[in-house]
């Protein structure tokens, strides 16, 4: 009997939902119709009978029936009553057992993208790589600048941007790169994006087609792999040695459309690409008519040796696109980065960036441009360099006891992380898990590898770890590594 079913359904509703009575009745009747408790063309009891059977007011019952009629679940026929509509699609009965795992309902690309590397685990803990210290960011100053530009904002500043970004900010980027990274460029070549991931996806979408090959460093920055995977490119791993990405003769059998490199400080090994290797990469790009994506993610922080010139600064054929970000110096949530494209591509990149991403945040870009123009960006950079240099020195000292013929450090000259290279027989993933139980989040080098199986090590960040924590936990880290080396040494 319908009234009994409705009373049962009404009693099952969660009291915390606090739905009005007419809405509760509406939900119960709607469920009865969709689950075939009421058949198409079945006549409902009169509103008077429902009022009596359910103990509700007439207004409550009429309101629920009226809503269901308006939405097409019921039809009212003068002189005959109210009926279930014959046009209501019936909900399919739930199968007795699940026939496939939910992940199998994803596309092949979706399944691959759904397998996270470690992004969701990038907790702010001592030694987490890829994290900068944004606790010292001048928040009060930044708020004043943003408020100023919000007060001065013209209507067009609240709209999408089709020009590639706020012109004064693009000018500031161009001036900075020309002076400090030896990149010859003009204002129109700078495109402001919402982060390096967006820059990578934009480059992949405009410069390659579905199924084209991208050469990716092995080991690699996981975010680049995800971006290329999402745009349907075929990833071809190319091993990295002490001089950076090292293409072999066999790699020529997979000619690239794109080559992704981190030449100034390879992520995660820290290798610096030699001048000879840089010219080789540029020559290969010209030979294959490929595009080189240079991710210069932490060039602002170099602690020893002369500055490393950018690959884009050596490019004479217009094959290099230069990617940079403000996240490492300021704070990650700023979500502002840039890509410098060859002159012939600038107009197409601006148009596609507008159509695909609808870029905005113009008041924020204006605040950042003034932040740079007033010298605050340079001040933040100087302060960060001094702080990171101290942390780096402290970490290197703490790690000395575990170093020797079987463990060495690479990549400590620049950036916010270093890599402790370990013997091939040692399980670096188990070692990272052991350190994680002590609250020390490091990354196993082998987890960054795409194809090769010959690398072991720990990728250790010092960007977010305060000096006091490095002094406290650095020796603990070294001791655990030292014990692992002693315990697992081959006979």
pTM, full prediction: 0.79
- The helix or strand, by DSSP H or E, that contains position 29, with its residue range, turns out to be helix 21-34
The span from the CA of 44 to the CA of 491, in Å, is: 84
In this model, does residue 122 exceed pLDDT 60?
no
In this model, does residue 152 exceed pLDDT 90?
no
Task: Dump pLDDT digits (tens) for 75-112.
Answer: 998 888 999 998 877 655 445 455 455 556 777 777 77
Question: How many CA atoms within 13 Å lie on the side-chain side of 483?
Answer: 9
Q: Given 3-state DSSP classes, what are the helix, strand and coil percentages for the chain, each rounded to the nearest 5?
A: 45, 15, 40
Q: Is the pLDDT higher at 95 or at 256?
A: 256
pLDDT for res 490: 53
Q: Is the pLDDT higher at 16 or at 435?
A: 435
Contact 169, 362 (CB under 8 A): no
Q: Is the pLDDT higher at 93 or at 217?
A: 217
Q: How many CB atoms lie within 10 A of CB 436?
A: 14
The span from the CA of 136 to the CA of 113, in Å, is: 34
Among 321, 359, 339, smallest CA distance to 197 is for 339
Tokens linked to 487: 């315990």
Range list of β-strands (E), 287-361: 291-295, 320-325, 337-340
Task: Dump pLDDT digits (tens) for 11-44.
Answer: 766 555 567 888 888 988 888 888 888 889 999 9
pLDDT for res 165: 93
Of the ranges 53-57, 280-284, 379-383, 459-463, the best mean pLDDT one: 280-284
Least reliable range by pLDDT among 108-122, 136-150, 385-399, 432-446: 108-122
Least reliable range by pLDDT among 25-29, 114-118, 169-173, 204-208: 114-118
pLDDT for res 409: 96
Task: At 142, give phi and psi (nearest 5°).
Answer: -60, -40
Task: Dump pLDDT digits (tens) for 308-327.
Answer: 889 999 999 999 999 999 98
In this model, does residue 10 exceed pLDDT 80?
no
Confidence of residue 375 (pLDDT cuts 50, 70, 90): very high
Domains delineated in the chain? 2-84 (1.10.10.10), 137-378 (3.40.640.10), 384-487 (3.90.1150.10)
Task: Dump pLDDT digits (tens) for 163-188.
Answer: 899 999 999 999 999 988 888 899 99
Please, what is the average pLDDT of the chain?
88
Helices and strands in the chain, H and E counts: 15, 14
In this model, does residue 114 exceed pLDDT 80?
no
Least reliable range by pLDDT among 97-111, 196-210, 242-256, 298-312: 97-111
Tokens linked to 439: 């609250």
Rounded mean pLDDT, 328-356 = 92
Contact 124, 131 (CB under 8 A): yes
Rounded mean pLDDT, 425-445 = 92
Rounded mean pLDDT, 39-66 = 90
In this model, does residue 480 exceed pLDDT 90?
yes
């Amino acid at each position: 009997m319908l009234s009994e079913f409705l009373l049962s359904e009404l009693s099952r509703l969660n009291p915390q939902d606090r739905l009005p009575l007419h809405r509760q009745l509406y939900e119960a009747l709607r469920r009865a119709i969709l689950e075939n408790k009421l058949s198409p063309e079945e006549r409902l009891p009169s509103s008077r009978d429902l009022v009596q059977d359910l103990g509700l007011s007439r207004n409550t019952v009429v309101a629920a029936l009226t809503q269901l009629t308006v939405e097409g679940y019921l039809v009212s026929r003068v002189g005959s009553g109210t009926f279930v509509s014959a046009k209501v699609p019936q909900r399919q009965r739930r199968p007795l057992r699940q026939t496939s795992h939910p992940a199998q309902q994803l596309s092949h690309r979706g399944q691959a993208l759904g397998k996270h590397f470690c992004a969701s685990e990038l907790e702010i803990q001592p030694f987490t790589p890829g994290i900068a210290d944004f606790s010292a960011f001048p928040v009060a100053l930044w708020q004043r600048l943003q408020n100023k530009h919000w007060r001065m904002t013209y209507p067009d500043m609240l709209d999408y941007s089709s020009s590639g970004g706020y012109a004064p900010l693009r000018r500031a980027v161009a001036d900075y790169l020309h002076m400090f990274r030896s990149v010859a460029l003009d204002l129109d070549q700078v495109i402001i994006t919402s982060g390096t991931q967006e820059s990578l996806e934009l480059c992949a979408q405009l410069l390659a087609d579905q199924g084209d090959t991208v050469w990716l460093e092995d080991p690699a920055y996981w975010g680049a792999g995800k971006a290329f995977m999402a745009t349907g490119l075929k990833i071809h791993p190319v091993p990295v040695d002490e001089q950076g990405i090292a293409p072999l003769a066999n790699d020529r059998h997979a000619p690239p459309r794109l080559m992704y490199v981190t030449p100034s400080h390879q992520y995660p090994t820290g290798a610096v690409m030699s001048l000879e290797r840089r010219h080789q990469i540029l020559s290969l790009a010209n030979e294959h008519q490929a595009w080189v994506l240079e991710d210069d993610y932490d060039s602002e922080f170099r602690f020893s040796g002369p500055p490393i010139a950018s690959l884009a600064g050596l490019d004479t054929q217009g094959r290099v696109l230069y990617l940079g970000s403000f996240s490492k110096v300021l704070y990650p949530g700023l979500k502002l980065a840039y890509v410098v494209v060859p002159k012939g591509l600038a107009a197409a990149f601006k148009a596609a960036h507008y159509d695909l991403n609808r870029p905005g945040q113009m008041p924020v870009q204006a605040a950042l441009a003034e932040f740079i123009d007033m010298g605050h960006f340079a001040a933040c950079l100087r302060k960060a360099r001094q702080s990171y240099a101290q942390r780096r020195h402290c970490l290197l000292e703490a790690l000395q006891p575990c170093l020797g013929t079987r463990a060495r450090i690479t990549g400590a000259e620049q950036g916010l992380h270093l890599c402790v290279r370990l013997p091939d027989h040692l399980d670096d993933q188990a070692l990272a898990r052991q350190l994680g139980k002590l609250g020390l989040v490091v990354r196993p080098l082998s987890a960054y590898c795409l194809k090769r199986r010959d690398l072991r090590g720990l990728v250790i960040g010092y960007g977010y770890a305060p000096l006091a924590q490095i002094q406290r936990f650095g020796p603990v880290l070294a001791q655990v590594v030292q014990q692992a080396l002693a315990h697992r040494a081959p006979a």
